[in-house]
Amino acid sequence: MRKNGFARHALIETLHTVQSSFGYLDDDSIRFVAQSLHVPLSQAYGVATFYHYFTLKPPGKHTITVCAGTACYIKGADKLIAAAERRLCIKQGQTTPDGQVSLMVARCVGACSRAPVALCDGQVAGEVTEEQMLEQLERWKAE
């Protein structure tokens, strides 16, 4: 906040900083940010829920993000997502009950030339096959 001079228009930047430090935005942090920047709580909460990038739930220990951009979709990203959902027994956007793995779907990470793309804990992997992805999930599950 100090970096942006406590400017009200730096709300999104501030929320980004909070999320990258804590992994998600909880009620307390949104309240704190709103108060410090003199922004109505409704606006802070509105911004936090409007943008897909912000999450209000704590993420799992590991996160697999499957890109569902057009190029990835054409190359079978939907099958990857379905396979991951079956394996983890959760829907996209959820975390396994043991808190090990979160399954996320991204709009496009910009690596379309290597579609389908998945991010394993932020690491970009291109031309992912179902077997590769399930193997990775098994490794995480076993930890």
Q: Which residues bind another protein (CB under 8 A)?
A: 7-13, 15-16, 39, 43, 46-47, 50-54, 68-75, 106-115, 117, 123-126
**Closer residue to another protein (CB): 97 or 121:** 121
The least CB distance from residue 98 to another protein, in Å, is 27
C-alpha–C-alpha distance, residues 46 and 29, integer Å: 14
Residue with tokens 């193997």: 135
Number of H helices, E strands in the chain: 6, 4
Cβ(66)–Cβ(77) below 8 Å? yes
Rounded least distance, CB 136 to another protein, Å? 14
Q: Which is nearer to another protein, 8 or 139 (CB)?
A: 8
What is the closest distance, in whole angstroms, from the C-beta atom of residue 19 to another protein in the complex? 9
- C-alpha separations of 87 from 26, 90, 91 in Å: 29, 8, 10
Closest to another protein by CB, 114 vs 141, is 114
β-partners of residue 103 are 64
Q: Least distance (Å) from another protein to the CB of residue 107? A: 6
